[in-house]
Amino acid sequence: MARHSGGRGWYGKVIGAAVGVTMLATGASVWTAQAGDADDAGPEATAPAAPGGDVKKVSPTIAHASEAGKRGVNITIDDGPDPKWTPLMLDLLRQYDVKATFCMVGTQAEAHPDVVKKVVAAGHRLCDHTVSHNTAMDKDTEAYQSKQILDAERMITKASGGVRPMYYRAPGGAFTPYSRKLAASRGMRPLGWNVDTKDFERPGTDAIVATVERELPNGPTLLFHDAGGDRTQTVEALRRILPRLKEQGYTFGFPVR
């Protein structure tokens, strides 16, 4: 989710006490929704082996472009899975034959493995969105960042039945050179966004749709949410956006890796 406010975000506040463990390339350069998109120098990240076998390293630069090309659109959905809202969104995506990338919080994946498996079975991709959704994690230590990313990777992989996340999205865009390199060393391409629909703030379905139409020229990666509260507006906005974009000649794909 976007960095709507400082601090640890709603997951950090609600779940933080239960997650004490967390204490311890192709893309358009003009699409830079977050800072740190360059291949700047940083500490080399190393990580222990995780479920899923050999890992193919990917670029540590933040991805924005779509595998579907110049008229491609990437639907990305953050903060779940949620037992109520994620299945509704899966139904919509299936109805319009659209694949999406689900950026999952580790504790949510662990709590709802059946929903994670439904996401995978439907052909969507997984993204590591950390354990506790700390939107200020870029201010924390490298050890903390490592625990957040690697623990979430393991939690999501286990919940999915062995399918590893293909991307890493920092909560609120709180990337660091270290976190990007660490994620890339695990085969997870850092994932940005171009259009923040602000659906998390529940501005109204019309406002969410208008934001997509106004900001889509900025780039192809759209940010939605399937957890963190009532997502009725998001579901209804997707119900309008998906067929409308298809009618306008857009195709839906996955972010580049």
Q: Give the integer Cα–Cα distance in Å for 164 and 143.
A: 22
Three-state SS at 195: strand
Catalytic choice (79, 112, 225, 226): 225
C-alpha separations of 75 from 5, 110, 193, 210 in Å: 23, 23, 10, 16
Q: Give the integer Cα–Cα distance in Å for 92 and 88.
A: 6
**Residue 82 backbone phi and psi in degrees, to 5:** -125, 135
Catalytic choice (37, 78, 79, 226): 78
Q: Is-cis flag, bond preceding 43, omega within 30?
A: no
Q: Give the integer Cα–Cα distance in Å for 76 and 2.
A: 12
Indicate if 37 belongs to the active site.
no
Which residue reads 């995978």 in tokens?
Answer: 120
Indicate if the alpha-carbon torsion angle 234, 236, 239, 245 is positive or negative. negative
Indicate if 225 belongs to the active site.
yes
Residues taking part in catalysis: 78, 225
